[in-house]
Amino acid sequence: MKIKQHKEKLEIIRDIIRETLLGNAALIVLAAMVPVVLVKPWDSMTFIFMGAVCVSFAVILLWLVYIVCLYIGTLVKNIFIRIFAFSIWALSAEGAIIYNMIKILS
């Protein structure tokens, strides 16, 4: 019985990794596009493009947060452990993305 429970939890963790991998890759691609746009002078089309990039970035980030919260909710029933697990995810995965974005922009 315990082996089946552990297998189900490992499958949920696998699903978290699988679902967020595409979102993390999309965020990196969007962040890598910013320095290319910043090199040339800005016109109205650049403003529209950067607005679309910012909206896409925000939507993908919110989608990642929603997916992780959904899977952590099925993984753990205790609210404090949920908050702790989400905090670990946010600090590690998203912190690394933000750090790399700052590194790219500077």
Determine the 3-state secondary structure of 87 from DSSP: helix
Q: Give pLDDT, residue 35.
A: 77
Count of domains for the chain: 1
pTM over 0.75: no
Q: Give pLDDT, residue 2.
A: 67
Q: Report the sign of the C-alpha dihedral through residues 72, 78, 82, 84, in that order.
A: negative
Provide the domain limits for residue 81: 2-105
Q: For residue 56, what are the CA distances in angstroms to 13, 29, 46, 59?
A: 26, 11, 15, 5
User: Both ends of the chain: CA-CA distance in Å?
Assistant: 53
SS3 content of the chain, % helix, strand, coil (to 5): 90, 0, 10
Instruction: Work out the average pLDDT over 45-70.
Output: 87
